[in-house]
């Protein structure tokens, strides 16, 4: 009887400590795919493009999700692929701090994307994250879901896990968030288009007009 109890206890301990997983089929696929040939870490576009749009963003921010899914694909198609625009993403991980939990979903999602960048897959992971928002601090970017997204994005998950485990990328996200605040960025998304600050979601048409004006003035 004692042996049987020990075996059951061991099974329960093993099951309790085993990493949970997410069914990849339950994840929503991104609506668009960024051109891999134009990706350079967290930047997308030619380095010598006449217009640069810096985007300060939080993966939990609903408006950032709208920008990423509905606006950026049009800008990429119309202005990035022809060499006019370069998009550079910066982390402003604000939303997770409001949850008050020890696990900061905004920081962890951004760190996960930075680790994807080490496999030249920042933009695919970026798109998968935004496609799978489910509300702020509601578990969309809990650990096992981030791992499921890594699998869906065809990452080497073991190497990606090792990257996240160092804590270096989380520290980098927090440092860049402080940099955002020091520069006066306190809302997401905030875009800086050749020095012009644009706060909040804008349509592709609005941003396109600003991009064209900036290109003519450069």
Domain 39-217's class?
alpha beta
Give the pLDDT confidence score for residue 20 in this predicted structure: 62
More confident residue, 17 or 131: 131
Split at pLDDT 50, 70, 90, the class of 97 is confident
Q: What is the pLDDT of residues 26-55, one digit of tens each?
A: 899 999 999 999 999 999 999 999 999 999
Separation CA 177–CA 15 (nearest Å): 37
Residue 153 CB-density burial (10 A; 0-12 exposed, 13-18 middle, 19+ buried): buried
More confident residue, 12 or 151: 151
Q: Are strands 196-199 and 85-91 parallel, antiparallel or unpaired?
A: unpaired
**R_g over Cα of the chain:** 20
- CA dihedral of residues 52, 57, 62, 66 (deg, nearest 10): 20
Enter the pTM of the model.
Answer: 0.88
Residue 142 has pLDDT above 60, yes or no: yes
């Amino acid at each position: 009887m004692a042996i049987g109890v020990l075996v059951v206890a061991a099974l329960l301990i093993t099951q309790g400590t085993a990493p949970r997983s997410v069914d990849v089929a339950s994840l929503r696929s991104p609506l668009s795919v960024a051109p891999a040939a134009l990706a350079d870490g967290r930047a997308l576009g030619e380095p010598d493009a006449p217009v640069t749009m810096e985007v300060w963003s939080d993966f939990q921010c609903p408006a950032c999700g709208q920008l990423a899914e509905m606006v950026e694909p049009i800008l990429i198609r119309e202005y990035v692929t022809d060499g006019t625009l370069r998009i550079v993403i910066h982390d402003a991980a604000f939303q997770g701090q409001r949850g008050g939990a020890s696990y900061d979903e905004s920081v962890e999602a951004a760190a996960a994307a930075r680790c994807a960048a080490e496999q030249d897959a920042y933009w695919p992971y970026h798109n998968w994250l935004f496609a799978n928002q489910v509300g702020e601090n509601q578990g969309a970017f809990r650990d096992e879901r981030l791992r499921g997204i890594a699998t869906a994005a065809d990452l080497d998950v073991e190497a990606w896990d090792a990257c996240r485990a160092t804590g270096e990328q989380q520290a980098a996200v927090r440092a860049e968030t402080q940099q955002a605040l020091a520069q006066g960025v306190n809302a997401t998304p905030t875009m800086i288009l050749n020095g012009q600050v644009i706060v909040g979601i804008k349509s592709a048409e609005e941003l396109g007009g600003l991009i064209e004006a900036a290109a003519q003035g450069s």
